[in-house]
Amino acid sequence: MKLPTSVKKAVAEKVGSLRTANDFLRERAGTAKPKDMLKYLRRAPKVAPNADDVS
């Protein structure tokens, strides 16, 4: 399948930005584990979601 050059460039840019975001998030996470978030989740207020947030 042949694609226009503009489409190829757009796809390449998107893939590059996703890769960059993935690298950034992995770097920021460091050695953190999902269970490390529990202390923060336990401190979050226990309130019902806004009506706009429920689908």
Q: How far is CA 12 from the centre of its chain?
A: 19
Report pLDDT for 28. Answer: 87
pLDDT tens across the length of the chain (55 residues): 688 999 999 998 888 888 888 888 888 888 989 899 999 999 999 999 888 888 6
pLDDT of the residue at 3? 85
Cα–Cα distance for residue pair 38/44, rounded to 1 Å: 10
17-22 long-range Cβ contacts below 8 angstroms, 24+ apart: none
pLDDT at 44: 92
- Predicted TM-score (pTM) of this structure: 0.40
pLDDT at 51: 87
Q: How far apart are CA 3 and CA 11, in angstroms?
A: 11
Q: How confident is the model at residue 5, as a pLDDT? A: 92
Q: What six digits make up the tokens of 43? A: 């401190």
